[in-house]
Chain A
């Protein structure tokens, strides 16, 4: 063989190695768009405004001078549970090994800029850019969301069904599934669902007895619609939101109708023997997120919890909500690890959208505990992040950052997800000011 032929053949072989589709253990084929660490990321915005004093510092009642310290997040963090004077009903952990031992804990991470409002915090976490934009019920964010980066810069472009955003509340949150950035937008957006209403009582009332269209009927409707659209000179615009393929539309509608009709039910993140009326909005959101993960195996899911925001006027209920949300996160991780596709191929990231103030606001609950707001003081900029995943990918049991030497910022989660799913290098320079939280990797 001539040297020139050898070089040509060997370079072609090398190229094919990097571009040819390959078979995953799950039997799924996809083409590489970049080097991936995992094929699934679940980002739990452990939101509602969480102080590090009650989470990673495990202060419990001691910061109020009202009782013991202790860990009320036993699924996420290592540490002894509170010894006494309990103001919440403790649930046995869903996990035998806390997530901090199955991943890396960024103990002190900064929400460095902008108001510490819930919508701002969510926007920062999901766009990777700080924002001063106040609450606006009708505006999508200025900067692209992580979903848009994922869809636009993965090759081949994933369907909308590959990414989901689930929120516990409406208000401005539905607008976080895509931005109004001129280069991105609804075309690259995620599916959005607010289960409390979208699959709630009203949904059952109006849609519970429906069935999906017969394929022939759907084809005829599509044929007439296509003809009508052909005579009209404008597209649907962003008013129709994200667009699923016809096949995905049918499958998502089927999921909704199955749940609304009772043909399928949600598994609930509750310990054995705890009645379903103990389910919180956070728990319902995570339960629905799991149903979507189980049925569709999306690659990118963002779920929030917000019940802890009751801390504005009830510190005891805040602790209780934190404890239950922690259980739901542990329950979700258990489910993921029992799934044939998701197990050992999923990264779980948890981070509050912001913290809360150091000083109380003057309100006192029935147990005499003081309440806290979040008005952009330094304490409300101190949060944590937890990244759990396969031991081959994520450093297990590592803790980085201290109060005096924080590591990482809220804007780092988006580039970290982009790195894990292999599309970071395709994002144009200057779009993401944050960095990959490389301290988490093995």
Chain B
């Protein structure tokens, strides 16, 4: 009994006393290279990305390297040339997601379906730079499992087109 009480005390208070310290490198945040959670909740995101930030983060999070300046300039101008940013954004993202260099960085559909919750967690980290809440993890996992036709590319596309992805 005493051991159980001690264990309960450790779990209850020991965890609370633990202090995590982390250096956040701003460039890594902007370009989304880190796979550690930068945000604890989505509510911390209250600033809209500029066109340059949107294109560069999408590129770096898919290609896992910073965007070349020429490509960034081309795609920023392309986005500026259209009034419906979502409409042209979908096409730019389709271009990224059709590139073999990006496809090589993606988990397979089989991996996603084998452990959807782990896939959801990694996808949240990759694009939203935070961990999903328990309900977010459950809901998206359920959606993936409920439709076996769902692909990794489709999930990635949805993240990149989401409202949260427009903010940092």
**What residues make up the interface of A, taking CB atoms closer than 8 Å to B?**
160, 165, 170, 174, 177, 189-198, 202-203, 205-207, 209-210, 213, 216-217, 220-225, 227-229, 231-237, 239-244, 249, 252-253, 256-257
- Cβ < 8 Å to A, chain B residues 82-128: 82-92, 94-95, 98
Q: A210-B98, A227-B140, A232-B163 are in contact. List 17 more A-B contacts (CB 8 A).
A: A170-B80, A174-B80, A191-B82, A202-B78, A220-B147, A222-B158, A228-B158, A231-B139, A232-B167, A234-B164, A237-B166, A240-B85, A241-B82, A242-B84, A249-B84, A249-B90, A256-B91
In the assembled complex, how far is the CB of residue B94 from the closest CB belonging to chain A, in whole angstroms?
5
Docked-complex contact A252 and B87, CB < 8 angstroms: yes
Q: Which residues of B contact A189 (CB under 8 A)?
A: 83
Distance, CA A134 to CA B153, complexed state (A): 44
Q: Which residues of B contact A237 (CB under 8 A)?
A: 48, 166
In the assembled complex, how far is the CB of residue B8 from the closest CB belonging to chain A, in whole angstroms?
33
In the assembled complex, how far is the CB of residue A164 from the closest CB belonging to chain B, in whole angstroms?
8
Docked-complex contact A239 and B164, CB < 8 angstroms: no
Q: Which residues of B contact A232 (CB under 8 A)?
A: 42, 162-164, 167
A249-B86, A252-B87, A253-B91 as given contacts; A221 in contact with B157, CB under 8 Å: yes
Q: Does residue B67 face the partner (Cβ distance < 8 Å to A)? A: no
Distance, CA A190 to CA B163, complexed state (A): 21
**What residues make up the interface of B, taking CB atoms closer than 8 Å to A?**
42-43, 45-46, 48-49, 74-75, 77-78, 80-92, 94-95, 98, 133, 135-136, 139-140, 143, 147, 149-150, 154-155, 157-159, 161-164, 166-167
Residue ID in chain A nearest B139 by CB atoms? A227
Q: Which has the most chain B C-beta neighbours within 10 Å: A177, A191, A235, A236?
A: A236
Distance, CA A234 to CA B95, complexed state (A): 27
In the assembled complex, how far is the CB of residue B109 from the closest CB belonging to chain A, in whole angstroms?
13
Docked-complex contact B84 and A191, CB < 8 angstroms: yes
Q: Which residues of A contact B157 (CB under 8 A)?
A: 221
Residue ID in chain A nearest B135 by CB atoms? A231
A174-B81, A189-B83, A192-B82 as given contacts; A228 in contact with B164, CB under 8 Å: yes
Residue ID in chain B nearest A164 by CB atoms? B83
Residue ID in chain B nearest A201 by CB atoms? B74
Docked-complex contact B136 and A231, CB < 8 angstroms: yes
A220-B149, A234-B46 as given contacts; A206 in contact with B80, CB under 8 Å: no
* Of B139, B140, B150, B166, the contact of A239 (CB 8 Å cutoff): B166
Docked-complex contact B87 and A227, CB < 8 angstroms: no
Residue ID in chain B nearest A210 by CB atoms? B94
Q: Which residues of B contact A231 (CB under 8 A)?
A: 42, 133, 135-136, 139, 164
* Of B90, B143, B149, B163, the contact of A224 (CB 8 Å cutoff): B143
Q: Which residues of B contact A239 (CB under 8 A)?
A: 48-49, 85, 166
Docked-complex contact A203 and B83, CB < 8 angstroms: no
Docked-complex contact B83 and A210, CB < 8 angstroms: no
* Of A174, A195, A224, the contact of B140 (CB 8 Å cutoff): A224
In the assembled complex, how far is the CB of residue A242 from the closest CB belonging to chain B, in whole angstroms?
5
Q: Which residues of B contact A203 (CB under 8 A)?
A: 78, 81
Q: Which residues of A contact B158 (CB under 8 A)?
A: 221-225, 228
Q: Which residues of B contact A224 (CB under 8 A)?
A: 140, 143, 150, 154-155, 158-159
In the assembled complex, how far is the CB of residue A250 from the closest CB belonging to chain B, in whole angstroms?
9
* Of B42, B87, B143, the contact of A253 (CB 8 Å cutoff): B87
In the assembled complex, how far is the CB of residue B59 from the closest CB belonging to chain A, in whole angstroms?
12
Residue ID in chain B nearest A195 by CB atoms? B81
Would you list the 8 A-B pairs with minimal beta carbon distance, nearest first?
A192-B83, A198-B81, A224-B158, A228-B162, A232-B164, A194-B81, A225-B158, A197-B81
